[in-house]
Amino acid sequence: MRDGSCPAVSGHFFDILVGKELVMQNESVIEIRNLSKIYRDFWGRKKVQAVKSLSLDVHRGEVFGLLGPNGSGKTTTMKMLLGLLFPTSGEMRILGKPASDVSKNEKIGYLPEESYLYRFLNADETLDFYGRLFNMSAAERAKRADELIEMVGLSKARRRQLKEYSKGMTRRIGLAQALINDPELVLLDEPTSGLDPIGTREMKDLILKLKAQGKTVIMCSHQLGDVQDVCDRIAVLFQGELKVLGRVDELLEIRDEMQIRTSSLSDAAIADIQAVLKKHNVVNSSFQKPKADLEELFLRTVRESGERPGRRFSAEEIATGTGDNKGAGGSKV
């Protein structure tokens, strides 16, 4: 791939690979050194230390996940990066500039945990407003707004005030405003919160697409599955301290187990395989039908329902994947 010898592959995979290449460049977009944050009361007395001597780098082009239970300091860290909170000590540089430098925001997009947008504006006005904050010209704003509204699927609701939007729609317009300036660095706080599985999938696709475009994405999320799906690296915080930092695939790899996936096997075939495994002193092997995850089931059901309105699917159909479905008929070792 690197030498360009790879034949035609889907754009999706191509983009992802390009993204991986960028990750490998190891250029730090965010540098955090010994960052601490202590919340104090009115009298200056210490209430809680939300972040303790945090040091980490986020590289250009990667999707980085900040994980941790509630109160672990991940949102505080993100808000310090954005200049919403001031660190008690330590240093942060974003895109080569101090976190307190407002000009860094020109290349940053931020989607807050909830979309705290102005509810009396409609989608067009919202994007126009945020575009003006980036000093974009009227024509540029209009073009960009059209693209983004189309992208987040709000074309039919662009004239409605945001107060009439559902939570999912609000997240979408929130995402659109975060991308109005075509940012280099995107910070997403709980990006899939409030989204239905389709929206979640679209959001994840979008994150991967951003990555493919060479953008750096940092996300906080409690949805570990989502994080696993899209993140290259993660950091796990607990009570303000960094506990785990590394590549997702490396961290999740179970080094002393193997998994083989085939089409459905007969009992004889299973017996033969077990004999082979026994011959090689493999213990603790098990044979079972693999299960699709609920997200996959949901997406398929929605897709089928759209194609065949009024029809209800039986468990058998779902399990065997009849019709034009891609069945889940396989065995997992």
Partner 1 sequence: MDFNPVPFDFAGSFSQWLIIVGILIGGSLGLSLLLAVARNGASGVPMFTRGLTSYLSDLGSLSLRRILAITSLTFKEAVRRKALLIFVVFAVLLMFAGWFLSNSNSRAELQANVHITFVLRTIAWLILPAVIFLSCWGIPEDIRLRSMHTVVTKPARRMEIVLGRMLGFGTVTILVLCVMGVIGYVWIQRQIPENVRNNLTCRVPVFGHLLFIDTAGQPSYTGINVGDTWMYRSYVQGNSRARAVWMFSNVTPDALVGDVLRLESRFEAFRTVKGSEKSIREGIEGQFTLVKNARDEAFGGFALGASTREMADLLREGQFRNAADKLKEFAEKIRTKPKDIPDPDYAGLAGGAQQASGALKVLNSDTHNFDELSQLFKDLFDTTFQLSDRKAAAAAGNTIFEDIAAKCDAVADYLKTNADDLLDHMPRLEVPLPTFTVTEFHEGDDIREVNRKLEFVADYETLGRFLAKTISRLNDAGKVVEGDSISPAFLDTLAEEKEISPLNAELLLTVLTEQLQSGALRVADGKLAVADGRRWFPFFDDLVRRELLVSQDSEGWLLTLDLFEDLTTAGFLRIEVSCLNDQMYLGMARPDLFIRLPDRPFYVGYTKAILTTGLMLLLVVVIGVTSSCVVKGPVSVFLTLTMFIVGQFFHDFMLRIVSGNEQGLGLIESAALIWQHRNPSVGLDASEATQKFVQGIDSVSTGFLAGVSRIIPDFSVFGSAAAHVEKGFDVPLDASVWPSVAAFFAFMIPCVLLAGACLKFRELESK
Binding site for partner 1 (CB under 8 A): 39, 44, 47-48, 50, 79, 82-86, 100-103, 105-106, 108, 110, 112, 114, 116-118, 120-121, 125, 129-130, 132-135, 161, 177, 181
Min. distance of Cβ 116 from partner 1 in angstroms?
Answer: 4
Strands (E) in the chain, as ranges, are 28-40, 46-59, 63-67, 89-94, 97-98, 108-111, 185-189, 216-220, 233-238, 241-247, 261-263, 330-332
Min. distance of Cβ 179 from partner 1 in angstroms?
Answer: 12
CA distance 52 to 323: 55
| Cβ 30 vs Cβ 78: under 8 Å | no
Beta bridge partners of 233: 64, 247
- Grouping H, G, I as helix, E, B as strand and the rest as coil, residue 298 is helix
CA distances from 153 to 120, 202, 326 (A): 20, 10, 27
CB nearer to partner 1: pick between 79 and 211: 79
Beta bridge partners of 261: 332
CA distance 221 to 191: 7
CB nearer to partner 1: pick between 143 and 278: 143
Min. distance of Cβ 180 from partner 1 in angstroms?
Answer: 9
CA distance 274 to 156: 58
| Cβ 194 vs Cβ 171: under 8 Å | yes
Min. distance of Cβ 39 from partner 1 in angstroms?
Answer: 5
- The string of DSSP codes covering 185-220 is EEEEESTTTT--HHHHHHHHHHHHHHHHTT-EEEEE
Left (φ > 0), alpha (ψ -120 to 50) or beta: where does 303 sit?
A: alpha
Min. distance of Cβ 145 from partner 1 in angstroms?
Answer: 14
CB nearer to partner 1: pick between 133 and 244: 133
Helix 123-133 to helix 138-151 angle, to the nearest 10 degrees?
130
Amino acid at 267: D
- Relative to beta strand 46-59, strand 97-98 is unpaired
CB nearer to partner 1: pick between 136 and 227: 136
CB nearer to partner 1: pick between 102 and 254: 102
CB nearer to partner 1: pick between 49 and 223: 49
CA distance 210 to 204: 10
Min. distance of Cβ 43 from partner 1 in angstroms?
Answer: 12
CB nearer to partner 1: pick between 129 and 238: 129
Min. distance of Cβ 147 from partner 1 in angstroms?
Answer: 18
Min. distance of Cβ 206 from partner 1 in angstroms?
Answer: 19
CB nearer to partner 1: pick between 181 and 216: 181
Min. distance of Cβ 63 from partner 1 in angstroms?
Answer: 19
CB nearer to partner 1: pick between 13 and 118: 118
